[in-house]
Chain A
Amino acid sequence: MTAIVEEILAGEQRATGAADLMLQTAEWAAAAYARFDRARVLKIARAAAEVAYAHAGELAEAAVKETGFGVVAHKKIKNELTSRALFELYAHEDFCSARIRAEVKMVELPRPAGIVFALTPSTNPVCSVYYKVLMALVTRNAIILSPHPLARGCSVKAAQLMAEAAEGAGAPLGIIQVIEQPNLPLIEHVMKSPRVGVILATGGTPMVRSAYSSGNPAIGVGPGNAPALVDDSADLNHAAKRIIESKSFDNSILCTNESVVLAVESIADRLLQALKSAGAHVAKPEEVAALRELLFGRGTFNVEVLGKSAVEIGARIGLKLPPNTRVILAEIDRIGIDEPLSKEKLCPVLGFLRVPHAQGGITQARALIRLSGAGHSAAIHSQHAPTILAYGAAVKALRVVVNAPCSQGAAGYGTHLAPAFTIGTGYFGSSSVGENVGPQHLVNWTRIAYNEDPAEAFGDFSVLDAWAGGPALALGREAPMSLGRLQEGADSVQDPMPLPTSSAGTIDEIAILREEIRRMVLEELRGALRS
């Protein structure tokens, strides 16, 4: 093809047209999948989770190679946790079957969103794909993913592996799709599509705002900026270890990482010592100035240091740090717009501020979150319940992690919070969800509610199947072929009628049997045709 012809063919509608076809296919897939029973759904989700688990290491490596962010070993852990472990967790809940609540004369039917449109970030690319796909699968939704362009390769690969596995396990075709060449206008086009059921946005604030203004239901979350208050009742060695473990995890790329340690004056020096022995380098005042310039010299956070190791960052300001340095501690004297280092830092540079007492720490924590991170996360290291409670009540964070690494703890690892990579920042953070986002957010329930008058008897729903009846389900696998009945020669070859949806779990077997019968009949006929 000559350049001129190619240029004419490359219209503006090429990308949006292709995306519309993806949406149409997803709509078909979602319609069938919404009638699958739980056993079938779990089989499909398990298959997707298993293939994800099997590629956890390989894709962790691919992600770091592609983006330059984070630590392979840590990404592998995240990938493992968001595949097999997450599936096991979700499999305990039932998002597919009717709930019969005789005591309130109600039947509740799960109704999936339909199409989930999910944006995934460059910072946690593979585990975000895993997590969002599994949430969609266990709730009987179709999902279309739009990966961050910086992490396109590994994200597309992850999505394709899971799609193949899900379809191999019986999912309707097109249940998981991925936009391979995402760009802003295209994403906005899909976001606005009336076919989208819900948008799961992560990424930068503009993207989240755009999701919310699309006119479609959206779950978007804001950025974090977690304070970590350490008071005089805390076990300082434990606190230091946990803070370092958290701040160095995947080079601090999770939005739940600690931003500034608020140390009560009476224990501040001892805490500093403990942090040092846990692997922190305490920056000298001139190094702090250099860090401030490196991280925020251009006004916004410098993505060149995003997810880089402490040693690499040290090298950038001319420091030759020992290779086992995990975090750089930058002591600051205030929180506020006039101290850029009190903003969110997705790299292992941790602010350190002395506060006169716990109450002062709470005030500074509020100030930190006022700056950014509303509705997100906070941590406290303390043995003193009243302080913990006062902190939780004062700080505008919707999860407060106690005596645990915040990166992991707020994301549901090592605490009993729900494991998640979409951390609802709630009304504080202009989000529709305030919890850690989970499958429950991708499904609504139809409530069949009886008259409460005891004279109206509640029906017996115990043996009924809500998803039975109606025509057989279209699964997108093969375009049917059949002879009619009036055509000559047709009497010898008759396709069995497609069976209506019964207990959906048995359909696979019936379809296979029907195919088998058809093949036998055809073979026989082929022989007869020539005689």
Chain B
Amino acid sequence: MSDPKPQSPEKREFIAKSKTYWNPGKTQAWQDMGVDLVIDRREGYLLWDMDGRRLIDLHLNGGTYNIGHRHPELIEVLNRGTQRFDMGNHHFPSQARTALAERLARICGGDMHYTMYASGGAEAIDIALKTARHATQRRKIVSIVNAYHGHTGLAVAAGADRFKKIFLSDNPEEFVHVPFNDLNAMEDALKGKDAACLIMETIPATYGFPMPLPGYLQEVKKLCERYGSLYVADEVQTGLMRCGEMWGYQRYGITPDLVVTGKGISGGMYPIACVIVREPYAGWLTQDGFAHMSTMGGAELGCLVAMKTLEILERPTVKPMVNYISETFRNGLHEIMRLYPDFFVGIRQCGVVMGLEFDFPEGAKPVMKHLYENGVWAIFSTLDPRVLQFKPGVLMTADLCAEVLERVERSVGLAYAECLGRGGRGKIRAA
């Protein structure tokens, strides 16, 4: 262990309070991992801990802060919006909701005409799954082993065991899981022609971003078509330019039947999530438009922020910028891999969606800790702790990327010494 940073009495007191009133298990777990972060001020891609320590945010809460914390244009639109609007009344047609839906229809193209609204990602997933069930009149939902789609009823049932058994919310009859990148298993799950849909994170995030093998997603989509199941793309983490295109699925040459977007679409400023659905599968909207509703789903202020977020992401300079950022990290990280070839062994990457592989049991945890101590916040993958989730924002500057690489090089060296350093702490490799 490196020397822990001294903690202020205020922070110690606060953490105790967090255990008393908020979430004792989660609060303690972070302390055990050596991450005593209490986020205070934030700006752009920077966070300040309540003790004043500056951290570069490479977690972004899963892409929520894709365009940075407190983006000035989002603050502006939110302020302007409050001069006239509030959340709105979800029973009635709304200017803001319709405008965002229109924009999403244009962005998604084809016959993706309709947008349905939620206030969070999991809720949106539930809406997508309900919509697929209505459209196909089938109950079964196929998803990937260790998938993560959030924690509401249907979403949690489609995800990993860890989060549903504890709440007795598993439902193995209706929710079938198949291993990622295994086409035979996928075909077995779909060929009974009783699955309403397959739901799939384009790149499974919480699983550590294993990458779809070449051709996998295209074949999966074909299987869905063959057996009459809809393809639901969970683009909560892979959408919004993070893969180098507006939606991650575009990089894999497929067109889903339903798309779920959350996190980043809110700009991190006002909760909102959306489901975009192809016209032929949106039947319930006509049959009984009141069948699903949510007071806060698609709140009008959220719609305004989402529209501004999309406007920013659609600026022509953003695409080259994402390319530059992701190329720069790839190239720079490869240089670091050369220094520690038996420890830092691989990079999973699609644009700025990245997973760094450390060939050591739970190897991403010490790397996370040393990064934290060296001013970078990036989180390991809960479901594959050899992998560090490395999630730069799409508007990062060249200088900040250079700073991150320099800090990563130092931190990987320290983690290497801790994990593999023969002769103990003193033998840290010179960078």
Contacts and interface: CB of A to CB of B under 8 A. Distances in A.
Decide if A and B are genuine partners: yes
Interface of A: 1-2, 4-5, 8-9, 11-14, 17-18, 21-22, 24-25, 27-29, 31, 173-174, 177, 470-490, 493, 497-498, 500, 522, 525-526, 529-530
B296 interface: no
Interface string B326-340: 111011101101000
A103 B76 CA distance: 60
B334 A498 contact: yes
Q: Would you list the 10 A-B pairs with minimal beta carbon distance, nearest first?
A: A479-B244, A485-B346, A484-B346, A474-B327, A479-B351, A471-B331, A28-B324, A484-B348, A173-B320, A476-B320
B386 interface: yes
B211 A483 contact: yes
B389 interface: no
A209 B81 CA distance: 38
Interface stretch (B6-14, B212-220, B254-262): B212-220
A469 to B, nearest CB: 10
Given A17-B73, A483-B213, A529-B213, A476 B80 contact: no
Interface of B: 72-73, 76-77, 80-81, 83-85, 95-96, 99, 102-103, 181, 183, 210-211, 213-216, 219, 243-244, 251, 304, 307-308, 311-312, 315, 317-318, 320-324, 326-328, 330-332, 334-335, 337, 345-352, 355, 357, 359, 386-387, 395, 397-398
A2 B73 contact: no
A11 B96 CA distance: 16
B397 A27 contact: yes
B76 A13 contact: yes
A21 B244 CA distance: 16
Nearest to A3: B95
Contacts of A489: 181, 213
B349 A482 contact: yes
A479 B350 contact: yes
A471 B72 CA distance: 33
B317 A21 contact: yes
A23 to B, nearest CB: 9
A482 B348 CA distance: 6
B216 A529 contact: yes
Given A25-B317, A174-B320, A484 B84 contact: no
B77 A9 contact: yes
Secondary structure type dominating chain A contacts? loop
Contacts of A17: 72-73, 312
B317 A174 contact: yes
Nearest to B252: A481
A531 B76 CA distance: 55
A41 to B, nearest CB: 19
B345 A485 contact: yes
A4 B395 contact: no
B395 A21 contact: yes
A497 B355 CA distance: 16
A480 B324 contact: no
Contact of A486 (B315, B349, B352, B386): B386
26 contacts: A5-B99, A24-B317, A28-B321, A29-B320, A471-B332, A473-B331, A474-B331, A477-B323, A478-B327, A479-B350, A480-B327, A480-B330, A480-B351, A481-B351, A482-B330, A482-B347, A484-B347, A485-B345, A487-B346, A487-B348, A489-B181, A490-B346, A497-B337, A498-B331, A529-B219, A530-B219
A498 B317 contact: no
Contacts of B331: 471-474, 498
B398 A27 contact: yes
Nearest to A26: B317
Contacts of B181: 488-489
A21 B318 contact: yes
Given A11-B80, A25-B321, A482-B348, A529 B183 contact: yes
A256 to B, nearest CB: 36
Contacts of A2: 95, 99
- Which residue of B251, B304, B348, B350 has the most chain A CB atoms within 10 A of its CB atom? B348
